[in-house]
Amino acid sequence: MVRLDFVLALNLLLCLHGAARFGDRGRQQWPVPYRRFDRRPPADSYCEALYPFCPTGDRDGRIPYMRDTDVISIYRLQTPVWEFKFGDLLGKFHIMHDAVGFSSSETAANYTMEWYELFQLGNCTFPHLRPELHPPFWCNQGAACFYQGIDDLHWSQNGTLEKIGEITGSKFNDLAKWVQDDNRTGIYYETWAVRSDPGPNATVWFESYDCSQFVHRTYRKLKELGAKLSSPSQTNYTKIYLYSGEPTYLGNDSAIFGQPALKNLALDIRSFYHTFRPHQSVLDFAVSLLEAYKKVVLDKSFYLYYNFEYWHLPMKPPYVQITYEEVPLP
């Protein structure tokens, strides 16, 4: 049952934040634009990755300079998520990780460029509930990683390693500048894409911001720089969708967790994310699966954290779906 104080407080909140949420004609823009920042903040020391981020890449994110006369081959790279640990297991469910490879004709040096979570996927998808903090605590940064070498076996054994084009050394240097700017201003990972239904004419409420989206942006930039990209195989990519009716904007941490009038909303958000908390025992995880089913399917409710703000999603069938859909090269 929806409480009266929640409804009144939510209406007040929407009035206070409406100007920031709607366009010139007073209508919400869908999909909600991904927010860019002036610079990347340092990662909080509380966030700790099981596997270190970009262990062999340059710590400052620098990309080698190529001679103008060089010809750089471009490779499409794809492999099952956590292939190094589980082999092709996740590939059977079309849960794939994507990257771009480069090879210099003058030096014969190979390079891999990918974009992924600083602190693994779980930390980017769901927050920690720290007892000393009222708002949920997110470790959701994502970043580009550029390192020397292409692990041929890793990418080709259960996935894809194919040449899709070429670019000059000077244009590669232009791409490098774009990558560094993209990496500095696009700082957080977003697992979910949210749309109204699985049909071709569905409304997209939110776009994901993950490894494949980085690859798509890179391909578009390469085309803009003059590269001609083509592939003999179908170019499919993993998408994780949530399906909902029109989302409701709720506010940021200070608006929700700093207002006594929104106490019930704050508690409901914490309760929702408690179900998805990390480091659960096997028994707790089994109980949490039932709780998640109740909240998402029976109660038809999901709280999405996007642009460091919360939205409520009125969920509807099929609720959650992993797809492996074709996205043609530009």
30 φ, ψ (degrees, to nearest 5): -120, 140
Q: Which tokens in the block code for residue 182?
A: 């993209």
**Which one of the listed residues 15, 97, 134, 274 is annotated catalytic?**
97
Question: Which residue bears the tokens 């000077």?
Answer: 170
CA distance 125 to 117: 10
CB atoms within 10 A of CB 140: 22
CA distance 49 to 121: 10
191, 121 Cβ separation under 8 angstroms: yes
170, 68 Cβ separation under 8 angstroms: yes
Three-state secondary-structure class, residue 295? helix
Give the list of residues 6+ apart from residue 125 with CB closer than 8 angstroms, or none: 140, 191, 192, 276
Residue 15 among the catalytic residues: no
β-pairing verdict for 96-104 and 110-117 = antiparallel
146, 58 Cβ separation under 8 angstroms: yes
71, 105 Cβ separation under 8 angstroms: yes
* Of the candidates 250, 138, 126, 236, the residue with the CA atom closest to the CA atom of residue 192: 126
**Which one of the listed residues 124, 139, 145, 211 is annotated catalytic?**
211
Give the list of residues 6+ apart from residue 76 with CB closer than 8 angstroms, or none: 98, 100, 101, 160, 161, 162, 163, 164, 231, 235
Cα angle for residues 303, 308, 311 (degrees, 5° grid): 30
Residue 97 among the catalytic residues: yes
CA distance 33 to 56: 33
Active site residues per annotation = 97, 211
